[in-house]
Chain A
Amino acid sequence: MSAPPNAHEAGLAQLLLQREVEALYTHEAELLDDRHFTAWLDLFTADVRYWMPIARNVAFDRPLAEYTRERADANWFDEGKDDLAKRVQQIEGGDHWAEEPRSRTSHLITNVNVAEIRGTEMTVHCRFIVSQNRQAHDVNFFTGKRIDILRRTATLQVAHRAGTFQVAHRTIYLDQSVLLAKSLTTFF
């Protein structure tokens, strides 16, 4: 018994979408790890919010208190594209000592799950592992969960080779409460 043609097509469309999202993330990881930071910025919409809350250790019945709030509390990152651009300009100046000489990074993105589609936007969950090595002995190992809102931009100003999605909102849940690295100089 084969599936009815319309179910087959829907499955195929889902697969293509999954493929497109994964291609975007692979492309993004390559841009970061190859240090093409300016090109990396093009993957974000002009109104993007890039948010990494701080985790706290809280009681089981206060789960909402575990993470600090976007646009309200202290966070590791809670900023827009202008701030990201400043960070890129800082790294690319050769005088940002925390990234000079530059880190060697590998961004691994996995468990990609298109959780919800709403018109031109969709919510995508994934996991990340980021390894960072600097100088002779500095090693950081970051793991966590990421939730992106990707937007299909029909009139995309800057077409990147991964497709026509841009990141319109990024939430980064790092699996640490006390940050075990002295600096967050890489992107997630």
Chain B
Amino acid sequence: MANPAAGTVSREIFSSETVFTNELERVFAPSWAFVGHTSQFAADGDYVLSRVGQESVIVVRESGGAINVLLNSCRHRGMPVCRYDAGNASAFTCSYHAWSYDLEGALTGVPRLNDAYHGELDRSQWGLVKARVAIFYGSIWASFDQTAPDFGAFLGDMAYYIRDLMQSPDGEDDGYEVIGGILKWRMPCNWKFGAENFAGDHYHNYSHRSVDRLNISLSGKPARHPLAAIQTPYKFLNIAHPGGHTVRANLYEALAGYQSMWGEEPEVDAYFRAAHERRQKRLGERARLVSRGGVVFPNMHYNTGGRSTIGIWVPVSAAETEVWRWLFVPREAPQIVKDTLRHFYLRYVGPAGMTEQDDMENWSAAQRGTSGVTARKFPFNFQLNINAAQRAWPEAWLGADAMVTAGVSEHNQRSFYTRWNDLMSA
């Protein structure tokens, strides 16, 4: 189906419902899913709905502060026991027969327990299905696979980049908070078009010509991306890890002073200048590496580099995907920095985002090229900069598991499909 070593991928894996169904079992189920961020839970009882793979889950803070992730499906008839996107609760009661569960998922209330179940229902066996949960620098992850490796092993060396993603621009750990409101929208294409694009498609700049011409970056310079304002020479790295997790990052040739990236807003620019200096002090040599974004296999994707967003591709069907996107601002930043980032995000990302609109247009059009009886006999080409990856290069501190190319490349996409292949053919 996918032959990343040869740089080809069958079009059928984007259009076949059989492949799609197998993916849910083999690709999604054994992986850890990003489900939210601790800043979404200010008080005990606060909950939000999220997704693990295709399925609805309740992410809830129980008394004492621990986060639980519960399958949102009554054990009696499968109804969602939570019908609201967010709120505060002390219990979840099914609207059908009123089975009731506490915030740990334990079945606490069953109507007619004594006179009709004759006291014989063992409630301890009929709690909500509970996921394993990992909290990593504020990000919340879940898996229903009891035999999968723990989150740290799943992430491997990618841990460095997710920690980095959750660091505010000054390098402070767990330095972000979510802006209220999650963007959720549908797009008529396979989830992998989004995943492979975020994995490392530096080749698709042409897609975004219109926003580069309009300078939506707020840098005051003609580009869509704040980092485009930096003049220090750098290598654009595509960094892939064995778990299929990939990173796009700029590796600057040398540590340099701040170069204005938010010039249209002087106060914001001043914040990023100070943050830049603090980050260099904290990280030293490794501050040369500025991550732009990446993918935690299979469907968590993010952008960072001073503008952090996290998303998931929710697989709906072979040809339909629901996208969820969380927008982050540095928790300790002045309000004007938060407001400016929010403004930047709303103009850039999502279905009203001037940049991502063109991505979704292209992915949806590509989807139409996957199902024709003639077209699907001809695989997609993934040979860009093939056989060029080097291990732990150009700096050994990228880690012994890091396979890296520089410049435009489909290396990260090939790594994504290598992992995908391994799971699908296991």
Contacts and interface: CB of A to CB of B under 8 A. Distances in A.
Contact of A73 (B87, B179, B216, B322): B179
A98 B181 contact: no
Contacts of A181: 185-186, 351
Interface of A: 52-54, 56-59, 62, 65, 68-69, 71-79, 83, 86-87, 89-90, 93, 95-99, 177-185
Contact of B181 (A54, A58, A97, A182): A54
B181 A90 contact: no
A181 B364 CA distance: 12
A78 to B, nearest CB: 6
B184 A177 contact: yes
B327 interface: yes
A181 B361 CA distance: 11
A76 B85 contact: no
- Say whether chain B's binding surface is mostly helix, strand, loop, or mixed: mixed
A99 B354 CA distance: 11
Contacts of B360: 98, 182-183
23 contacts: A56-B86, A57-B84, A59-B84, A59-B87, A68-B181, A72-B180, A74-B342, A75-B181, A76-B351, A79-B347, A89-B214, A95-B210, A96-B357, A97-B207, A97-B358, A98-B361, A178-B184, A178-B186, A180-B186, A181-B185, A181-B186, A182-B361, A183-B351
B354 A97 contact: no
A62 B87 contact: yes
* Residue in A62, A79, A183 whose Cβ sees the most chain B Cβ within 10 Å: A183
Interface of B: 83-87, 179-188, 207, 209-211, 213-214, 216, 322, 327, 339, 342-343, 345-347, 350-352, 354, 357-358, 360-362, 364
A71 to B, nearest CB: 7
Contacts of A69: 180
Contacts of B207: 97
Contacts of B84: 56-59
A76 B349 CA distance: 10
- Say whether chain A's binding surface is mostly helix, strand, loop, or mixed: loop
Contact of B186 (A62, A77, A179): A179
Contact of B352 (A59, A77, A180): A77
Contacts of B83: 57
A22 B350 CA distance: 33
Contacts of A68: 180-181
Given A74-B180, A87-B354, 6 more contacts: A53-B181, A86-B214, A86-B354, A96-B358, A181-B351, A183-B351
A79 B186 contact: no
Given A59-B84, A183-B361, A73 B186 contact: no
A69 B180 CA distance: 8
A167 B86 CA distance: 33
Contacts of B327: 74
A164 to B, nearest CB: 30
A178 B181 CA distance: 11
A96 B210 contact: yes
A89 B209 CA distance: 12
Contacts of A52: 352
A95 B209 contact: yes
Contacts of A83: 347
A59 B95 CA distance: 13
A71 B22 CA distance: 43
B210 A71 contact: no
B343 A74 contact: no
Contacts of A72: 180
Contacts of A59: 84, 87
A42 B299 CA distance: 43
Nearest to B180: A73
A86 B213 contact: no
Contact of A74 (B85, B179, B214, B339): B179
Nearest to A134: B361
A53 to B, nearest CB: 8
Contacts of A89: 214
Contacts of B188: 182
Contact of B364 (A71, A77, A90, A182): A182
* Residue in B322, B361, B364 whose Cβ sees the most chain A Cβ within 10 Å: B361
Given A72-B180, A77-B352, A179 B345 contact: no
Nearest to A53: B181
Given A59-B87, A87-B354, A79 B346 contact: yes
A132 to B, nearest CB: 12
A139 B130 CA distance: 40
* Residue in A57, A83, A95 whose Cβ sees the most chain B Cβ within 10 Å: A95
A123 to B, nearest CB: 24
Nearest to A57: B85
A71 B339 contact: yes
A96 B224 CA distance: 13
Nearest to A52: B352
A90 B211 contact: yes
A76 B181 CA distance: 10
Given A77-B346, A179-B351, A95 B184 contact: no
